[in-house]
Chain A
Amino acid sequence: MAFFWDKWFGKGKTKDAAKERLQLVLIHDRTDLAPELLDRLRGELIKVICNYLEVDDEHIELGLEREDRTVALVANIPVKNVKRQFQTRK
């Protein structure tokens, strides 16, 4: 905690905190406003993954999760089967 205090509030460097907070908050603002963004991403991800793995489309979970100072795209994709190499080359 002391490390963060000095980093963001000591020596007048508050603008770094501002920039970081803004970037994080805008990730959420922009995706909240455009749910199609995540839908399209989901669609394309499924296409690519299906080249290698057989997945359960209906139960894919995709979302942005915020933890502390980072945002991550988190996906949970149930796998039914792994495709054989020769099948993908058809």
Chain B
Amino acid sequence: MAARTIVITSGKGGVGKTTTTANLAVELAKIGMKVVAIDADIGLRNLDVVMGLENRVVYTLVDVIEGTCKLNQALVRDKRVENLYLLPAAQTRTKDAVTSDQMRDVCLMLRDDFDFILIDSPAGIESGFRNAAIPAQEALVVTTPDVSSVRDADRIIGLLESMEKQSIALVINRLSPKMVKRGDMLDISDVIDILSVNLIGIVPEDEAVITSTNKGEPLALEATSPAAKAFSNLARRILGEKVPFNELDYLNNKGFLGRIKKILGI
């Protein structure tokens, strides 16, 4: 049962790596996988707060590496979902508190006990990113459909390719179907044309992301909003299922025409 180790990275900050990691972890666990999510953003940790587990953090990744505690003492078990664990980052240290060999060792320790190890990478291309990416065989690159993010995603993809990852796949986050329709936002095919990488997820802009983070309850826990459905599709694709990219279709059923369609059952 050697785990699949996936790094979730982007280059650009603020595009949704942590949100994606948290929700993907919950979705995979709901399906029945045993999942550990590792926060590799030492010094600026957020995976704990996005997952709503911040009050349960006692030991961190750095404590494990420095031998202050055993690995299973640092793992926070999520009480809401079976088989979901968090390995938090240290908040009072910096990215040089850990080497890539140490990160690799921690992941090796986890490999036999889990189906998935998801590593939430920090932004950037320096050691924080490298430490997060080195232990992983697979990578998810998260980008938003704008010039800055896509440019940075291109750089990150180049770096991941030079690290010879087995698979690199793209998640396009915060798509606004209205803006795409108006021609004011890059659409999915634009981004894929530019980056030339496999698409594995599209997540629409959704206020529920913010409200769920406010409450510390990842969207995936109740799974009805458009973004929640998108994360569910992402998890299924990661497991090899061929799920059509219909994440934006929910808009076709809104408004007057949408209500008529619903009444008529079409």
- Residues in A lying within 8 Å of B, measured CB to CB: 11-16, 18-19, 21-23, 25-26, 29-30, 33
Contacts and interface: CB of A to CB of B under 8 A. Distances in A.
A16 B151 contact: no
B266 interface: no
27 contacts: A11-B183, A12-B182, A12-B183, A12-B184, A13-B184, A14-B183, A15-B180, A15-B185, A15-B187, A18-B146, A18-B190, A19-B186, A19-B190, A19-B193, A19-B194, A22-B147, A22-B151, A22-B186, A22-B194, A23-B194, A25-B151, A26-B154, A26-B194, A29-B151, A30-B158, A33-B155, A33-B158
Contacts of B147: 18, 21-22
A15 B183 contact: yes
Nearest to A21: B147
Contacts of A14: 183-184
B154 to A, nearest CB: 6
Nearest to B185: A15
A33 B146 CA distance: 22
Contact of A22 (B150, B158, B180): B150
B154 A30 contact: yes
Interface in B231-261: none
A18 B158 contact: no
Main secondary structure of the interface of B (DSSP, over half): helix
Nearest to A19: B190
Bin the interface of chain B by size.
10 to 19
A15 B183 CA distance: 6
Interface in B172-204: 180, 182-187, 190, 193-194
Given A22-B194, A23-B194, A33-B158, 10 more contacts: A11-B183, A12-B183, A13-B183, A14-B184, A15-B183, A15-B190, A16-B183, A18-B190, A19-B193, A22-B147
B233 to A, nearest CB: 24
Main secondary structure of the interface of A (DSSP, over half): helix
Interface of B: 146-147, 150-151, 154-155, 158, 180, 182-187, 190, 193-194
Contacts of A33: 155, 158
Given A23-B194, A26-B151, A30-B158, A18 B183 contact: no
A72 to B, nearest CB: 20
A23 B154 CA distance: 11
Contacts of B182: 12
A18 B186 contact: yes
A19 B150 CA distance: 10
Max chain B C-beta neighbours (<10 A), residue from A16, A19, A21: A19
A17 to B, nearest CB: 9
A11 B184 CA distance: 9
Nearest to B154: A26
